[in-house]
Each structure stands twice: as C-alpha cells, then as structure tokens.
Amino acid sequence: MPAKRWRSCASRSRIRPHRSSLRGLFVDSADFDALAVLAEAKMPPASWAFCAAGADDEITANENIAAWRALRLKPRVLNDVGNVDLRTSLLGAPVSTPIMVAPTGRHKLFNAEGERATARGAAMAEAAYVMASNSNVTIEAAAAERKTAPQWFQLYYWPNRAEVEALIDRLAAAGFSALVLTVDAPVPGWSPRAARAQHAPSPEIRNINMPGQPMARTAYHPDFAGKVMYPATWRELEWLAKRAPMPVMVKGVLRADDAARCAACGARAVIVSNHGGRHLDGTVTTAAVIGDIARALSGKAEVYVDGGIRRGTDILKALALGARAVLIGRPVIWGLAVNGAEGVRDVLDHLRVELTRAMQLCGAANLAQLTPDLVA
C-alpha cells in the first residue's frame, strides 16, 4: 500500500521505535500500519519501494486487503470455545498453525542476515517457511534454522532443465519437503514506484541459489521489460511432478479451471495468489476466488491462499472459504526489517493470537469448524 496511508495511521499507534521487541507494539487495530512505518524508517528507500510496490496503479495490491475486510462473518453462539486447536497438516506433515511465511525474495535488502533470520523466526513461531528462488542465503543455511516446522522452496522455472534438476536434488538433500512452482510471472510486471527507486546491485547481495549467482536486482528495470524469464508451461509442470522427489504445488492460480488442470498434471496443491498485486494490475482479488477454487479442487488437491491478509479475521475467512493455510508476505518483511528473526516471530505470533480470538468469537474450537457458512 502507498507509504502515505501508513503514515496517516502513525499518530494513533503510539510507535516506539526504540523497542527491542515488537510485542508491545501489537495492541490495537493499527498494529501493522504502525509496523510498516517502523519498517520504512529502517530500510533504504529502494528497499522500501521494492517491498511496498504494486504493479502499475497498485489497484490490485490495495484491493487485496480491502476484499478480505469487506467479507462479513456470521458467528455461531453457545459453543464451547475454552480450548482452541489450530493444528492442521500441510501435505501430510503436522503443523501447529495454518499461518505460513510466503516466498519473498532478496531479504538482505531488509536485514543483514537475510533469509537465515526469516527461517529462524518462522521456526521460532513453529510456522512453515517457503524460501524464494531469489533468496540471498543458501538453501543449506536456511535449512540449518529449520527445527520442526516444514520448509518448502519456491521455484521460478528457468530455461536450462539441467540446472533445475541440480537445484531439486540440492533441495531434497537439504530436507526441503515441497516445491512451489510460481507461474503468474513469466514476464516481469511494471511498478512505477519501484522503477523510480532502483536498487543498486552489490556483490554482497546475490541471488545465490540461482544459476550463476547473479547480483540481486529487482524485476522492475527497463532491461527486463517484456522478456520471458521463467518459461514454465503445462509440460514443465508435468515433468516437475514426475521428477521432483517431493510434492509439487503451483502458486499464482486465480481460475478454477486452471486449478483443476494443475491437479490433473500432478500438482498436490495450489496457492491462490495474484503475486501480491506486483505483476498484473487489475486482477481479481484472492478473496474473491478462493471459494470457487476450493470447491473445484475438493478431494483432488490442497488449497492455500495469500494476498492482503493482515488480520486474524482475514485468516479465519480464508480458512472458512476453503484454504488449508494462508501465507503472509509483506508483514513478515516488516518484522524482519525492524527486529530480525524475533520480528518475524512476533508478526506470526500476533496473527496466531488474533486468529484464536476470532475463532472463539465465531464459536469455532478447531479448524474443521471453520466452514463456508461463517462468511456472508
């Protein structure tokens, strides 16, 4: 969302930038607004622009948030909600929370430890972490922070299949338990905001797991405009599903027919996503299509969702509409920038507390009781 809107919330959020922890910040409805202000103050301008940017007019980036907030709840009453159970399973692996860390790249732009701190914060919160292709630490370094929560890897399918195969084998050796193929950005989108504040490439910040370990650059540069950088097709999805020694899922699906075809090609799950509104502006919101896709995939594949989720009530709505779990993007980066691994943990813990309270107020004691009739 535009920085101007975040600043408008600052006066009512009692921001205290000197805090060593974020926990005292999370006390009212403007919590993430205030956290975004703190994060912007900590980041170089180009890093903030890359984090905050949406494509073109940023319509989708903003509407993602508004769409979850526009949905209304129909709570049940007189149910026993003294003990709320958030446990679920992701691709068969038990987890204590349906809140995950979404794949976002170049974390050394936000914290000196990069994705190592993100992975550690996710592990501290017992949340699954999806590491991005364009991360700035090795997959082995992130794996060292794992503990008991699953780690998945987000893949941009680059043209050389042998290089993709080598990476898949490294991921398997490092214990990554799923492969997330991103399919909604074959060419980069365009962000005027990020293009005006270009990150200067640095030898110290590399996309270290990509072929050639290139210096990290953002996609919002004229050199990349219109170039097909990640040429995945249905053929590549079928090959990946057969070749990978771990389950494959597809990220970036907004249509029920595409979701069903993904499952038919061997995908074990889909992530309903419009890339946070960062590539194609004017798409449908994820809140608008999660229900249709979940119905289309019932019994065929698991369904996850990201995009604009900022509150525990947003998470409840997503789960009630058929998502097995949600993925959190920008707020995790804000926490990382402000307080490293502990900041990531605090963001995830805050959302867990909010989800628990929302479930109690809706009369649901476990995730199985979050059904579509709770959402108007």
Read off the DSSP letter of residue 362.
T
> CA 298, CA 85: separation in Å to the nearest integer?
23
Within a 10 A sphere around the Cβ of 236, how many other Cβ atoms?
Answer: 18
> CA 88, CA 132: separation in Å to the nearest integer?
23
CA-to-CA separations, 15 to 23, 346, 347, in angstroms, rounded: 12, 16, 16
Of 287, 254, 285, 283, the C-alpha closest to 271 is 254
CA-to-CA separations, 31 to 41, 70, 116, 297, 331, in angstroms, rounded: 16, 19, 25, 35, 10
> CA 346, CA 56: separation in Å to the nearest integer?
32
Task: Write out the E strands in 162-202.
Answer: 179-182
> CA 102, CA 350: separation in Å to the nearest integer?
16
Catalytic residues, by residue number, are: 275
Within a 10 A sphere around the Cβ of 70, how many other Cβ atoms?
Answer: 12
Phi, psi of 351 (to 5 degrees): -65, -35
C-alpha neighbours within 13 Å on the C-beta side of residue 203: 0
